Structure 1
Amino acid sequence: MFTFPPLRNRRPVALRLQAVLATMALAATAGVVLSTPEASAATGSATGYATQNGGTTGGAGGQTVRATTGTAIHTALCGRASTSTPITIEVEGTINHGNTTKVSGKSCDTAAGVIELKKISNVTIVGVGGGAVFDQIGIHVRESSNIIVQNVTVKNVKKSGSPTSNGGDAIGMESNVHNVWVDHTTLAASGGEDDGYDGLFDLKNNTRYVTLSYSTLSNSGRGGLIGSSESELSNGFITFHHNLYQNLDSRTPLLRGGIAHIYNNYYTRLNESGINSRAGGRAKVDNNYFKDSKDVLGTFYTDAPGYWQVSGNTLDNVTWSKPGDDTNPAGPDMKSTTTVSIPYSYSLDSAGCVPSIVSSTAGAGKGLKVSDGTC
C-alpha cells in the first residue's frame, strides 16, 4: 500500500538580512506576525495530480512566519521580496472578518473579508498548535500557483446574508490557477443555498493540477464543482482521495469537462446526487465506499453527458433514480463508459477499509495521519 514520505521539519536556506529586517518591521507594525526562521511546520509531500506539471512544494525552502489573524497572513505575503519568494505561514487561532483587513505591497494583492492568495506563488498555509479556524471567511486562490493549504478548518462561509466572503465558497480557485495541494482540511457549512451557502471546494476558469486529500466536507448543499458552466471546460487533472463527504445534497464533485481521479473516499448521506460527471467530463472512480446515499454517480440535471471508469467501489444502502432526459445514473449496476489513464503512481486501499481509514485520518487536527494500508 502507498505510504507517504516521513514528515519532518525543514530549516529554510540562508535568509538575506534585508528580508529578515523587512519582516521584523512588518511584524512590529501588525503586532501579529512573528518571524520564526528556525522552525517550519511539517507538510509532507503532495500527491495525485498536484505532483504533475512540475509538482507542488508550496513555501518549501523559504522563511517561516506565524500568524494569528487574517491581517497577519496578508502582511506575511506582502512582506516577501517578490510575489514568488517562498514562504510558509503557520496559522493558529481564529481567523474572521474582524481581524482580516487589506494589506498592500509589491508582493501581494489582498482584500478585506477574505484570505486572498492572488497573483502569487510558492506559499504554504498550515494550521499549527491549537489549530487554525477560518470562521465565516473563505480562502480565495486566483491567478496563482504552487500553493499548499493544510490542517485548517474553514466553516460557514456565506454568499448571502451577513457576513459574506469568497462568493460563499470555503476554498475557491479561479482564473489560471495550477498546482495546488489541499490536505487535511475540514470544510463545513450549516445548510444549503437557501441558507446563504455555496460550494465547499470550487474550481473554475482554468484551474488545473489540484489534489484534495484527507479532508472532510460536510453539512452543505454543494460539495464542490470543477467548471462553472457547461461551456467552461478549461479545468481538469484533479485528484480526490481519502476524503469524507458527509450530509451533502450534491456535487461531490460536479465535473464539467476535464479529468478527475476519485479514489478511496468515504461518502455517507449524499441526499440528492453525488459524483456528477457531465459535459464530456471523465471520472476515474476507484475503491470508494458509498453509504446511505442516492444517485452516487452519473450525469444529473443536464442532457450533456459525462463519462466514468469504475472499479472496486462498495455500495451500502444506495438508491437510484430512473433514467430520464436530464438524469443518467450509473447504477444500480455500475459499469464503465470510458477509460482514464493516470500518469502518477498510487496504491488503493480496499474499499471495505475506507470508512475506518478515512474516519481516523481525514480532517484538520488529526496529526496529519495518513493511511498505512490496513483497516
Structure 2
Amino acid sequence: MRRTVALRLCAALAMTGLATATGAVLPIPEASAATGGVTGYATQNGGTTGGAGGQTVKATTGTAIHAALCGRASASTPITIQVEGTINHGNTTKVSGSSCNTAAGVIELKAISNVTIVGVGAGAVFDQLGIHLRDARNIVIQNVTVRNVKKSGSPTSNGGDAIGMERNVRNVWVDHVNLEASGGESAGYDGLFDMKDNTQYVTLSYSVLRNSGRGGLVGSSESDLSNSYITYHHNRYENIDSRAPLLRGGTAHMYNNHYLRLNESGINSRAGARAKVDNNYFEDSKDVLGTFYTDAAGYWQVGGNTFDNVTWSTPGSENHPAGPNPQSNTTIGIPYSHTLDAAGCVPSIVNRTAGANKGLQVSDGKC
C-alpha cells in the first residue's frame, strides 16, 4: 500500500511540478516521491514530513545546500533540497543567514526544522563529509551516500560520524542511504549513525551500513539515557565490528534487518535499554545480541529471528551474550503498525531494496 501511495504521489507531482526558490518550476524526480512513506517511530510524536509543502531547490555543492537553508523565510520554512553530484570539503563552505547556522566542512542542520535532503538524478555522494543534526526537528534524508567521514587524520568532519544527531533532535527519517567507512577508529573513523543528548523518534530504513568499526550508538555514555524511540528496519549491516547498534537506555525496534559479518558484537543493549528484535537474519557473525563491555544490563524481546553461522562467547563479568538460544527478558509494546517479512526472506528482500540508487523500492513481502 505504501508503494502504491508513493507512485500516485509521484505521478501527481510529475504533472504539476514544484516552484523553486527562484520561481521556476522543476519536474519532481521519482526519488523525492517516497517522503510520504515514513515508517516506524518517526511516524509518532506528530510524524515526520520533512520539507513537504515547501519549495524545491537543486544543489550540486555543499555550499548550495547551505545557501538553500539560509535563503528560507525562517528556520522552519519547509524546503526540499534535491542533491546531485559529489559533495566534499572543497565545495562546502559556511553560509550565513537568519534561517540557518552552518559551518564549513560539514552539512550542518542546526537549529532548524522541516527539511528534506534527497539524492536525485545520477546520485548524491557526500565524500569525507558528514551530515550533522543539532537542535533539529522534522528532517528527512533520503537516497544519498555518505562515505569515509573521519574524526582524525585529514580531512575531518562531524566528529567522524557519517550521520550524527545530538541535543534535542526530534522526528528524523533516514531512508535508502549508504553509510560507509574504510576501517575502524585506528584508521580515523567513528560511527556511521549516532544519536545522543536527547534524540528521539528516529527511523532508519532500507539502508546499507558497511565496512566500519562502529555501526552506531544511541547514547554517548552510561549517563546519557535521554535518547529513545528508534526504529531500524530493512537495513543491511555488513562487515561491522560492533555497535549494530549500541543502545544505552531508551527503546529501539529492529525488524527485518540483515546482519552480515558482525565481527565482535552486534545489538548491544545496556544501561537499561530495551530492544525489540523481530524477524531479522543474522549471518556469519559473533555475539549478535546481548549486553557487552559493561555490567550495566540491558533487555530484549526476541521473536522470529534466524541465526545462521552465529557464534557466541562465554559469559563473563562484562560480557553477557543472549545466545546461543536467545530468550526474551522483557516485553515491549510497539505503537505503530508494521508488517513483518519472514526472516528467511530478509537477505533477498534487503539485497534488492536497501541502499541509495535502488529506485526507493520497498518490500513486497516476497523472497
Q: Is the shorter-chain TM-score for this pair beyond 0.5, marking a shared fold? A: yes
Partner of 2:317: 325
Partner of 1:39: 28
TM-score (norm 1): 0.93
Distance change in 2, residues 1:35/1:337 (3 Å): farther
Partner of 2:272: 280
Distance change in 2, residues 1:349/1:110 (3 Å): same
Q: Deviations over 1:45-96 (max 9, x none)?
A: 2100000000000000100000000000000000000000000000000000
Aligned pair partner of 2:201 in 199, 202, 209: 209
TM-score (norm 2): 0.95
Partner of 2:220: 228
Superposition pairs of residues 36-75 of structure 1, within 5 angstroms: 36-37=25-26, 39=28, 41-43=32-34, 44-75=36-67
Partner of 1:5: 5
In 2, the alpha carbon distance for the partners of 1:342 and 1:316 equals 27
Conservation of the 8 A alpha-carbon contact between 1:209 and 1:238: yes
For 1:97, give the aligned amino acid.
H
Distance change in 2, residues 1:119/1:13 (3 Å): farther
- Answer yes or no: is 1:345 the counterpart of 2:334: no
In 2, the alpha carbon distance for the partners of 1:93 and 1:282 equals 39
User: Deviation of residue 281 (structure 1)?
Assistant: 0.1
Aligned pair partner of 1:263 in 244, 255, 263: 255
Partner of 2:102: 110
For 1:168, give the aligned amino acid.
G
User: Deviation of residue 334 (structure 1)?
Assistant: 0.4
Aligned pair partner of 1:367 in 331, 336, 359: 359
Question: In structure 2, the residue corresponding to 1:318 is in which secondary structure?
Answer: strand
In 2, the alpha carbon distance for the partners of 1:51 and 1:60 equals 15
Aligned pair partner of 2:136 in 136, 144, 147: 144
Distance change in 2, residues 1:244/1:347 (3 Å): same
Partner of 1:83: 75
Q: Deviations over 1:92-145 (max 9, x none)?
A: 000000000000001000000000000000000000000000000000011000
Partner of 2:299: 307
Unaligned runs of 5+ in 2: none
RMSD: 1.7
Distance change in 2, residues 1:38/1:360 (3 Å): closer
Superposition pairs of residues 234-249 of structure 1, within 5 angstroms: 234-249=226-241
Conservation of the 8 A alpha-carbon contact between 2:164 and 2:195: yes
Superposition pairs of residues 141-220 of structure 1, within 5 angstroms: 141-220=133-212
Aligned pair partner of 1:254 in 240, 243, 246: 246
For 1:58, give the aligned amino acid.
G
Segment of structure 1 superposing worse, 300-309 or 39-48:
39-48
Question: In structure 1, the residue corresponding to 2:231 is in which secondary structure?
Answer: strand
Q: Deviations over 1:166-204 (max 9, x none)?
A: 000000000000000000000000000000000000000
Partner of 1:122: 114
Aligned length: 360
In 1, the alpha carbon distance for the partners of 2:137 and 2:5 equals 23
In 1, the alpha carbon distance for the partners of 2:28 and 2:301 equals 44
Question: In structure 2, the residue corresponding to 1:211 is in which secondary structure?
Answer: strand
User: Deviation of residue 229 (structure 1)?
Assistant: 0.2
Q: Deviations over 1:303-347 (max 9, x none)?
A: 100000000000000000011000000000100010000000001
Question: In structure 1, the residue corresponding to 2:150 is in which secondary structure?
Answer: coil
Conservation of the 8 A alpha-carbon contact between 2:106 and 2:129: yes
Question: In structure 2, the residue corresponding to 1:80 is in which secondary structure?
Answer: coil
Q: Deviations over 1:266-325 (max 9, x none)?
A: 000000000000000000000000000000000000010000000000000000001100
User: Deviation of residue 37 (structure 1)?
Assistant: 5.0
In 2, the alpha carbon distance for the partners of 1:35 and 1:306 equals 53
Where do 4+ consecutive residues of structure 1 move more than 2 Å? Answer: 1-15, 34-41
Conservation of the 8 A alpha-carbon contact between 2:138 and 2:171: yes
Question: In structure 1, the residue corresponding to 2:149 is in which secondary structure?
Answer: coil
User: Deviation of residue 5 (structure 1)?
Assistant: 3.1
Q: Deviations over 1:241-284 (max 9, x none)?
A: 00000000000000000000000000000000000000000000
